[in-house]
Chains A and B, each alone.
Chain A
């Protein structure tokens, strides 16, 4: 499914280029790309600088809303600013960035206030309140926009560009505003880093420690509103929330430290912003917002799949190798049991005996023995029908059986389990218990020799032959 999304991205980007080639036969993609990156066009320069600034601010603020679990507040806020954009536009009858900025910020703050009012005074929950405010404010905005488009000046104003964004329409004034907001966010986050961090992760502690949690919350909301408003021009009302959430969520998957998450999120936001502006430029000024969002989503998918610590592939690989190890260790344990039943008189174990003890077919046992010998734990003789432990296999088997029996003994003696209830638990723990814990249990059990069922616990000298050199 995720690969499908990537494939679709590729299809779209190539077809975007194809559409462009058919439109403008005089230039090719290379020249177009060169034009984009050589920054000769002033409008292109603004678009590029704007996208970079936007990515940085969105990444920084987005990190805080993701760790505060307020992702959808960003969504609601971004839709709620639309009436403010329309009113700000009406104020000067032109696309005055400052008027739009003020109008949108006010509308956004009214929106969030209404959400918290609804939450406090009615039985409706936060999700319903968010959805309600989002859609109602947006409807008011659409009414105003359609009314403005009816005006003689309204139609060519480009107010419709606020819905899906158009990076090419970024002006010098917009860039100045974006730079201001970016600097403001960076400054606020660096100066009040500790305060923001503590209130985001542990509100109770922050309050107890005397931090002004409400003030910090409202400041973050205000910065968020600023960010959304300056990002509108390039990404559009509808998809701003994605630029906040997606880069930050990707960063969240890659690191456990907040300052690294902030840096990564800003970087990812920047990449997505530039990629979006570039692709939309290649595709003959298609709406920028959707391309930026797809860029961010591609980064997220990569982090989701290939993240070094929390990535799906890594975790799948770890689980696979762990389950293989557990299977091998269980087989070693069974061979040990076979040998134990005949008091270690004969060292070769027939495949048939192993299969019988493990209640499986000969073929399954053979596959296991092949796996074991590939790991150098047993050697096979008589066409693979008889198995012998290698020294390494013997040590490992003793270790596992020792872990198992020590744990059984610990459960019966120290935790007062019934002796017939301890086997299953020990079957699980024997594979994961660490050496330190084993040493501790040995000490507590005063180096006991026999498990609750009366069987001998393999001694340390079996596992570390150098200490004694005895072999059964």
Chain B
């Protein structure tokens, strides 16, 4: 056990990264925050629409999109990857709908069939062309945020902005935020009350596919750093935690951003302590934050409900005796 869990050394875990490796860790922390923020924003709407598991499906099924785009275009340029992922993401939603509508298979099974098939195709493509695609099969599952290339910095208007992947992720996060602000009302209404949305002239189908496209773009840009499965955590954990703390959507959106920042920072330290995968450590810290909110949330937490039940004992009225059976 001793060699599994290294000794906890405060200086090594909390001080050294910022004293010696600030240049690296600031970018990793920022990257983690951008991933969690972009995913968390979209994820909130998935939770509201009870489509959390469609997020699960799309996060798996963008893989063949990326792999095929990569093999066809033979380059790792951003637009090609985005296009591949977008096509794969929309294809997934279409397949789920076709299976669900044209046969008697229920939606949950349709989701399971669609994403596992596409993911299997992706894994096989990657294993077959391992020398051409520089993604390895395990990296696809849990990514590696620590190895995101930090070397070439992007310049904009002559100002050094930062490493390319971080800037790209930041751009995606900003775009997500912008779209959510612009279409706030439409998303809100169509998520909570599809009937009202239709009567206001909001096309539910368009909103659905727009959200799915946004999801695919966010998922593919997060893919490199957190992989196919941990992305689900990034999608669901911030929103789920925030929804335990507040009932107002703007506050929930803000809190999910805070959750992203905290889990990213704490995750870095956890992974330095345990010397394990950084992306996984971020998710573990995110899950820990969820558990904290679950237990200690002032309104809906386990502790709060327990205390309020204790302080106000439920008084049961004596039930009137039934007339029969005497």
Contact = CB atoms under 8 A, between A and B. Distances in A.
A242 B98 contact: no
Nearest to A292: B120
Interface string A283-298: 1001101110110010
Given A124-B243, A125-B50, A147-B4, A287 B137 contact: yes
B30 interface: no
Interface in B273-292: 274-277, 279-281, 283-284, 286-287, 290
A383 to B, nearest CB: 44
- For chain A, the bracket of interface size reads 35 or more
A246 B232 contact: no
A39 interface: no
Nearest to B125: A12
A29 to B, nearest CB: 16
B113 A132 contact: no
A243 B105 CA distance: 16
A160 B138 contact: yes
Interface-centre pick from A128, A283, A304 (highest chain B CB count, 10 A): A128
B117 interface: yes
A134 interface: yes
B22 interface: no
Interface in B108-159: 108-109, 111-113, 116-117, 119-121, 123-125, 127-128, 137-138, 141-142
Interface stretch (B10-18, B52-60, B209-217, B314-322): B52-60
Interface in A238-269: 238-239, 241-242, 245-246, 248-249, 252-253
A310 B103 CA distance: 7
Interface string A110-138: 00000000100111110110111011101
Interface residues of B, number: 68
A143 to B, nearest CB: 4
Interface string B73-113: 00000000000000000010011001100111110110111
A136 B287 contact: yes
A252 B113 contact: no
Interface string B228-254: 011011011101100110000000000
A49 interface: no
Nearest to A301: B117
A142 interface: yes
B27 interface: no
Contacts of A124: 47, 240, 243-244
Contacts of B108: 69-72
- Residue of B99, B109, B232, B286 with highest tally of chain A CB at under 10 A: B109
A430 interface: no
Contacts of A168: none
B128 A139 contact: no
Chain A's interface: helix, strand, loop or mixed, by majority? helix
Given A123-B243, A151-B4, A136 B103 contact: no
A232 to B, nearest CB: 14
B4 to A, nearest CB: 6
A300 interface: yes
Contacts of B167: none
A322 to B, nearest CB: 17
| A90, A124, A139, A300: most-surrounded residue (chain B CB, <10 A) | A139
Interface of B: 3-5, 47, 50-53, 55-56, 60, 91, 94-95, 98-99, 102-106, 108-109, 111-113, 116-117, 119-121, 123-125, 127-128, 137-138, 141-142, 229-230, 232-233, 235-237, 239-240, 243-244, 271, 274-277, 279-281, 283-284, 286-287, 290, 294, 300, 302, 305
Interface of A: 1, 5, 8, 12, 15-16, 19, 66, 69-72, 74-75, 79, 90, 118, 121-125, 127-128, 130-132, 134-136, 138-140, 142-148, 150-152, 160, 163-164, 238-239, 241-242, 245-246, 248-249, 252-253, 283, 286-287, 289-291, 293-294, 297, 300, 304, 310, 312
Given A131-B53, A151-B3, 12 more contacts: A72-B111, A75-B112, A124-B240, A132-B237, A136-B283, A140-B280, A143-B276, A146-B276, A147-B4, A248-B109, A283-B128, A287-B137
29 contacts: A12-B121, A12-B128, A66-B106, A69-B109, A71-B106, A72-B112, A74-B112, A75-B53, A79-B229, A123-B300, A125-B52, A128-B52, A132-B240, A134-B229, A138-B233, A139-B233, A139-B287, A140-B287, A142-B277, A143-B277, A147-B5, A150-B275, A152-B3, A238-B60, A242-B116, A252-B104, A253-B105, A289-B123, A294-B121
